Amino acid sequence: MGFFNRRAAPADANTANATGHREKRPAKHHGVPSHNTRPTFGQWIKATWLDILTMAIMGAIGLGVYMAHPAPSRSFPITFIDGEIVYPEFAYPLRNEIVPIWLAALLGFFIPFIVFLICQIRVRSFWDVNNATIGLLYSLITAAVFQVFIKWLIGGLRPHFLAVCKPVIPANFMPHGNDGNGYRQVMFDRSICTGDQNEIDDSLESMPSGHTTAAFAGFVFLYLYLNAKLKIWANYHPAMWKLVAVYAPILGACLIGGALTIDEYHNWYDILAGAIIGTVMAFSAYRMVYSSVWDFRFNHIPLTRHTPFIYGSGPNTFDGFHDAVWTRKAGWGTHEGSAWGGAPSDAADGPRGTMAAAAGAGAGVANAGTHGAANGRGTHGGVVGNGGHTIDRRPVSGSRYGEHMV
């Protein structure tokens, strides 16, 4: 597993002597290790066992709901009294799926996962590939359970419902009798269906689209990951191929969803609902495992389980994630170019966490840093120095990466 961690020396995690100067290399200080180091298997299990258990439980719940019979008993029309077909949009023939549901789920996981591994050629961070994979599973599993509950309790008619139902109106049916229901008794329920019961169950659970939900949950997460690693919307002008690469997953998700209108497995509103659910879950899951969704200074930095990340306007080099990006343009991937420069909503400048274990970093320093972050004074006020005092930050010289601050 050395592939995921090429750093020979731990990075400095002590904030007691921070001055805001950008360093060429992270210095070892009192043996405090970098957060971007590969844990032992036992440490990893200790940090993730609850997630694994939760995923297994949610997967079992989702499978159970998926296999259950649809809860609602829907009424549907077949013909008017004069024999004219009602709602022909539900009378399409049953066809084979262009993209089966199992394939949509596999594509939604394995394509992003393969991209995560390819990115490790440059990123080389265990926690990056760990958080990306765990976050992807968060997105896929929660989206799947969310949509199967809606299918089960609400559902809807698929475009091929009547072809699957194969309704047979009783021979003695009287338009004003008791065989139908609704206005002029033109509505019926599934009791007049003669088709396969499993197919009928499936055709009553059209909304939302499970294919589209899985595709957008996986590919939107990949879209956010690629944006963070390639720094598409950042502090420099990227090449066009990066824009193409970051939107390729969105195109894939749209194609999977759109194919469902060709094979008449879903209505357009089923696909829209699935896309919204998958997108919301992808954004939520990404923000759980990375420091930001859109802030280009931090959205490539994985979050750890027990140590908070403190946001600031300076380079976050002390935790070892400064080079957890693919691009190397405009100083990205180096200590000089990592997340430098202020922006609205900045908090105090500082590395991850309070680092209470570091010698000389007392509770006053930690509290001062946290207090500055909460008040948003870090951008203009200063950085935490020895004893909890702040050191003025002012530009002293310019460079290709911006201004040095002291």
Note the pLDDT of residue 284: 96
Residue 200, amino acid: I
pLDDT at 306: 78
Same domain as 143, residue 54? yes
Report if residue 320 sits inside a domain: no
Say whether both 123 and 218 belong to one domain: yes
* 241 vs 180: which has the higher pLDDT: 241
Which of the two residues, 113 and 401, has the higher pLDDT score?
A: 113
The dihedral formed by the CA atoms of 393, 394, 399 and 400, expressed in degrees to the nearest 10 = 70
Q: Does 247 lie in the same domain as 166?
A: no
- Identify the domain containing residue 221 by its residue range: 1-6+45-68+100-158+204-290
Summarize the confidence of residues 36-43 as an average pLDDT. Answer: 79
Q: Are residues 228 and 211 in the same domain?
A: yes
- pLDDT for 369 equals 39
Percent residues over pLDDT 70 in the chain = 66
Instruction: Tell me the per-residue pLDDT of 307-358, one tens digit each, with 9 for 90 and over.
Output: 777 776 555 555 677 778 888 887 787 766 555 555 545 544 445 444 334 4
Kindly state whether residues 128 and 63 are assigned to the same domain: yes
Q: How far apart are the first and last CA of the chain?
A: 39
DSSP letter at 25?
S
Collapsing DSSP to helix, strand or coil, 167 comes out as strand
- Note whether residue 183 is domain-resident: yes
Assess whether 265 and 240 both reside in one domain.
yes
Beta-carbon contacts of 111 under 8 Å, excluding residues fewer than 6 positions away, are 218, 219, 222, 249, 252
pLDDT band at 147 (very low <50, low <70, confident <90, very high): very high
Question: What pLDDT sits at residue 90?
Answer: 76
**pLDDT for res 181:** 66
Contact 65, 131 (CB under 8 A): no
Residue 319 inside a domain? The answer is no
- Least trusted range by pLDDT, from 22-31, 62-71, 310-319: 22-31
Say yes or no to pLDDT of 302 above 80: yes
Q: Do 119 and 223 fall into the same domain?
A: yes
> Is the same domain home to 89 and 230?
no
Same domain, 55 and 108: yes
Q: Is 14 a member of any domain?
A: no
Dump pLDDT digits (tens) for 193-245: 888 888 888 888 889 999 999 999 999 999 999 999 999 988 889 999 999 99
pTM for the whole thing?
A: 0.73
Structural domain ending residue among the three candidates 241, 262, 290: 290
Same domain (yes/no): 153, 166: no
Residue 267, domain member (yes or no): yes
Please report which confidence band the pLDDT of residue 160 belongs to, taking 50, 70 and 90 as the band edges.
confident
The token pair that represents 321 in the structure block: 């994630």
Write out the two tokens for 191.
């009791």
User: Domain boundary at 147, 171, 196, which?
Assistant: 196
Q: Which residues contact 398 (CB under 8 A, 6 or more apart)?
A: 404
DSSP class per residue in 326-342: S--GGGTTSTTTTT-S-
Report the chain's mean pLDDT, rounded to a whole number. Answer: 74
Q: Same domain for 174 and 49?
A: no
Average pLDDT for residues 158-178, to the nearest whole number?
72
- Mean pLDDT, residues 54-76: 86
Same domain? 212 vs 148: yes
**What is the count of structural domains for the chain?**
2
pLDDT given for residue 8 in this prediction: 45
Asked, for residue 306, whether it belongs to a domain, the answer is no
Report in angstroms the alpha-carbon separations of 4 from 1, 12, 128.
6, 19, 9
Q: Is 111 helix (H, G, I), strand (E, B) or coil?
A: helix
Q: Which two tokens stand for residue 137?
A: 């599973």
> Is 325 contained in some domain?
no
The residue from 232, 266, 290 where one domain ends is 290
Residue 115 lies in a domain: yes
